[in-house]
Amino acid sequence: MKLQSILARCESVALDALVAEAELLTRVDRKYLLPSGAAEEILESASSRARVLEISRRREFGYDSVYFDTEDHVSYRLTAQRRRRRFKLRTRCYLDTGSAFLELKTKSGRGSTVKNRISYDPVDRMRVTDAGRAYLRPLLQAHGHDPLLVDRMRPSLVSQYRRATLLLPDGSRATIDTELRWSDAHGRTVALHDQVILESKSAGPPSLLDRALWRAGHRPSGISKFGVGSAALHPELPSNKWARTLRGPFSSSVITSKEPS
C-alpha cells in the first residue's frame, strides 16, 4: 500500500482547524526511522480515523530547513551530548505555500520540546537578520544560554524532505517525512531513499500512533534531522548518540559533492 493511497482515503483538515485543535508548540515528540514498507503498514492500521492536513488540494508538502550553528558546533554538541539545556536554530520554508519562519527549538526542564518562531522572509533563509537576532537573544538567555551566541551562528546544514501531517482522534498529531536529503555548506549531500521518519507530537502521554508502533515492535529512535545529518556529513564530530542509525540506514548511503565550478 503506497503512502499516497493511504493519505487519499483520509478525511481532510484545514490548517486553521489543525492549529485550533492541536497547535502543540509545547509538546513531547517521539521520532521513529522506519523502512518505507514498515511505515506504510503502521499507517494503514493507524490512519482509519485520522484526518490529513490539506492546503490547496495538496496533502504532501516540500520542506526546506536551514540549521545554524557556530564554527565549533556548539548547538550540535549540546544535542549529541544529550544536554538538558540544548537548542536548535533554523529557518523553515514551506515550499508549496511560500511561507517561512525563523524558529528556536529548546527543551524544557521536563523534556518537552518548546518551539518559538516568527514569520520570516524566505529570501533570508540562509542568514539571521538583525530583527531575527533581536528576537532570539532574550529567548536564548531565558533558556540559560549566552544571548551573544546568536551573533556567531552560521548556516551549517540544509535538510529537505516532503511531509504529510495527520490529526489523530486523540488530539495528537503525526508527521510523515519522505525523500530525506541533507547538504552542508561545502556542497556535500547525503540522502535516504527508502526510509521514512514518523513523528508523534502529543501533549505528553503516548499517542495512538505511538501505541501502534510499539505493538509492531518499533521504539523511538531519538533521531534528529539536524544531529544525524550533521554526523553523516561530518564524521569528525562525536556521533555516539546516532551510531546505530549511521551503521544502519546510513551505511548504504553515498555522500556526493558538488563539482567545482
Residue carrying C-alpha cell 486523540: 170
Contact 50, 166 (CB under 8 A): yes
Among residues 55, 36, 42, 44, the alpha carbon closest in space to that of 9 is found at 44
159 CA to centre of own chain: 8
Distance CA 240, CA 253 (A): 19
Pairing outcome for strands 51-53 and 11-13: parallel
pLDDT the model gives residue 259? 53
Per-residue pLDDT of the chain (261 residues; tens, 9 = 90+): 588 899 999 999 998 888 877 665 566 789 999 999 999 999 988 777 899 999 999 999 999 999 999 999 999 999 888 777 889 999 999 999 899 999 999 876 666 778 899 999 999 999 999 999 999 999 999 988 999 999 999 999 999 999 999 999 888 889 999 999 999 988 899 999 899 999 998 877 888 899 999 999 999 987 889 999 999 999 898 887 888 888 888 877 778 876 544
- According to CATH, what is the number of the domain 3-252? 2.40.320.10
pLDDT the model gives residue 225? 92
Q: Indicate the residue type of 54.
A: E
Contact 89, 80 (CB under 8 A): no
| Half-sphere exposure for 108 (CA within 13 Å, toward CB) | 12
Q: What are the sequence ranges of the domains in the chain?
A: 3-252
**Residues constituting the chain:** 261
Q: Where are the beta strands (DSSP E) in 14-112?
A: 26-35, 51-53, 61-69, 87-94, 99-107
Among residues 7, 8, 6, 28, the alpha carbon closest in space to that of 171 is found at 28
pLDDT the model gives residue 261? 44
pLDDT the model gives residue 110? 65
Helices in 25-179 by DSSP H: which ranges?
36-46, 74-80, 130-142
pLDDT the model gives residue 26? 60
Among residues 237, 146, 228, the alpha carbon closest in space to that of 191 is found at 228
User: How crowded is residue 46: how many other Cβ atoms within 10 Å of its Cβ?
Assistant: 23
pLDDT the model gives residue 42? 92
Contact 116, 108 (CB under 8 A): no
Which H or E run includes 216?
none
Residue carrying C-alpha cell 500500500: 1
pLDDT the model gives residue 132? 97
Fill in the DSSP letter of residue 181. Answer: E
